[in-house]
Chains A and B, each alone.
Chain A
Amino acid sequence: MSEPIIQFEKVSKWYEEFHVLRDIDLTVAKGERIVICGPSGSGKSTLIRCINALEEHQEGRLVVDGIEITDDVKAIEAVRKNVGMVFQQFNLFPHLTVLENLTLAPMWVGRVPKKEAEARAMTQLARVRIAEQAGKYPLQLSGGQQQRVAIARSLCMTPKIMLFDEPTSALDPEMIKEVLDVMIELAGMGITMLCVTHEMGFARSVADRVIFMDQGQIVEQNTPTEFFAHPKSERTRDFLSKILSH
């Protein structure tokens, strides 16, 4: 087991009066691939969004890649340089071409010259098998293509951690596979991955650990084989029966 890259210590978060994350203790090792599942409203998206400070926690200590997350803007920007995120709604920039979407952050944050940024971008686009669309605009692409571009965009910053917030939930069924294939390939590259998803097949094939969350807490975590074969908690069994039945 390698050294921890993400450390949650009794982290709690409230939305107004609602206790959305309750005393989360979690350690993620470098290179580990984690799938987080649970019913809606359980706080799983909020959990991963705390990692790159898109959500602010009120109690507890959260350390990402050696930097503690506080209100310090500089610290947050430093963390975000090393953490990539893929959103459910893709969130590509519609006024820029695919290539410009990918070179934006390397040029403006990473201070990479344009030629090199474009070369890097083309490499990533080739990796997600969409290099021929480099000159197109995001809204000219299908959902699956857009999500793959989004993954490539995050990869251009060579992140140490990749966060996926329900990446396939907004896709038509026939496009889910192309995105999952890309993510499986990514998993083989050694990047630390945290993925919130309902795709249990993906969890079985790729994850080192599956975490089940309910009502703001980590209820259960285990290796995929153990998790699916012998769920320990009643709530886990209940959830699994609902999503594995169809």
Chain B
Amino acid sequence: MDTALKPPVIARRPPVRSVGALAWLRASLFADWKSTLATLCVAALIVRWLPDFFNWAVVRSVTQPDNAACRALDHAGACWGVIAEKYRLILFGRYPFDEQWRPLLATLLMVGMLVASCTRVLWSRWLAVVWIGVLAAFFVLMRGGVAGLTPVETARWGGVPLTMLLSTLSIAAGFPIAVLVALGRRSHLPAIRTLCIVYVEMIRGVPLISVLFMASFMFPLFMPPGITVDVLVRVLVGITLFSAAYLAEVVRGGLQAIPKGQHEAAAAMGLSYWQTQRKIILPQALRMVVPSIVNSFISTFKDTSLVTIVSLYDLTGSLALALGGDANWRQFYLEGYLFIAAIYWGFCFAMSRYSQWVERHLNVGHAH
């Protein structure tokens, strides 16, 4: 062997053909015949469809609420005018026209609260109190009847505020139920454990629509004769019970991930069951499953669209309301669908991005 020391070699740039934009493109798109074929197919698809779609959606579209111009288009371009014409009906349902500043304000309040809840800085006990305040304000604004606001019955609530109300309230009310059920499933009392298991498995085994039917048709039967229950309340109860079952599984996952040592340490310190849960176990478990809770919220938000089937006019249902009866605008349903799809998508996508951010930055993960 050659034991002599050699002069040090200074670092060089890599050879041209292996780095740089051109090399990267070649490695990415044309690495082998399959990749090349795929690239050509995708490129062909893009070239074929994208300009046509762009023409339809942007170039030849009509944005003014001008029915004659839209009809003249004859589907050659998008009629965004239908949105311009009907957006208030779509967004707010049958809420009285003049009072629509109220649902707008209520929705903004709710969205603002949600965004505030996401910023870590504000996580404290006061958050729950402020939430209750915001929910109360929401109801007051929507319902009216106090402070000089004209009363608006719940049957006329619709559109975005209704979607927000249903999803937020069902998660907010479902959450305590979920925690209790999750704890109940791990209880040593067989009766409670069985009850919780039956509840969760029954709800998770059936579609939401059947739970909504149950709430809609069977709930009035559970009340003492003579008492009628508002449709909105029935549906809310249905969705809440549904979300609570799924949330219970999420919380249970978090509880299972807490090492036994925590329980033992708390017992050694002389804490009671409820003290242990409240002070030691739950805070850790819930922190762990925040991303899953956000995912539950996304699912519930999407699921609220089902209330159209039980005749509540949320964002999906209000479209039928806006366009279904109007012979002039009915043919532009597609643009309407795209509009509300975009709203749903924007909201859900933002929430899923947030969930991923939480997973990364709070050092939490899937608690399986």
A touching B, CB within 8 angstroms:
yes
- In the complex, whether A40 has a CB less than 8 A from a CB of chain B is no
CA distance A140 to B119 in the complex (A): 44
- The interface size bin for chain B is 10 to 19
Number of A-B contacts (CB under 8 A): 41
CA distance A59 to B18 in the complex (A): 10
CA distance A19 to B12 in the complex (A): 7
Interfacial chain B residues near A23, Cβ < 8 Å: 9
Interface positions of A from 1 to 30, Cβ below 8 Å from B: 12, 14, 16-17, 19, 22-23
- The reply to whether A220 and B9 contact each other, CB–CB distance below 8 Å, is no
CA distance A113 to B252 in the complex (A): 50
Set A19, A216, A218, A233: member contacting B14, Cβ < 8 A: A19
- In the complex, whether A232 has a CB less than 8 A from a CB of chain B is yes
- In the complex, whether B47 has a CB less than 8 A from a CB of chain A is no
CA distance A37 to B229 in the complex (A): 78
The chain A residue sitting closest to B9, CB to CB, is A22
Interface positions of B from 38 to 91, Cβ below 8 Å from A: none
The chain A residue sitting closest to B13, CB to CB, is A17
The chain B residue sitting closest to A217, CB to CB, is B9
The chain A residue sitting closest to B8, CB to CB, is A217
With A22-B11, A58-B14 as given contacts, are A16 and B19 in contact (CB-CB < 8 Å)? yes
- In the complex, whether A33 has a CB less than 8 A from a CB of chain B is no
- In the complex, whether B3 has a CB less than 8 A from a CB of chain A is yes
Q: What is the minimal beta-carbon distance from A60 to any residue of chain B, in angstroms? A: 11
- The reply to whether A221 and B14 contact each other, CB–CB distance below 8 Å, is no
Q: Residue among B1, B12, B15 with the most chain A CB within 10 A?
A: B1
Encode A200-241 as 1/0 by CB contact (under 8 A) with B: 000000000100000111111110001000001100000000
The chain B residue sitting closest to A220, CB to CB, is B5
- The reply to whether B18 and A209 contact each other, CB–CB distance below 8 Å, is no
Q: What is the minimal beta-carbon distance from A170 to any residue of chain B, in angstroms? A: 22
Which 5 pairs across A and B sit closest by C-beta, in order of nearness?
A14-B14, A19-B11, A22-B9, A222-B3, A23-B9
Other contacts beyond A14-B18, A14-B19, A17-B19: 17, CB < 8 A? A16-B19, A19-B11, A22-B11, A22-B12, A23-B9, A58-B15, A215-B8, A216-B9, A217-B8, A220-B3, A221-B1, A221-B2, A222-B1, A226-B3, A232-B3, A232-B5, A233-B5
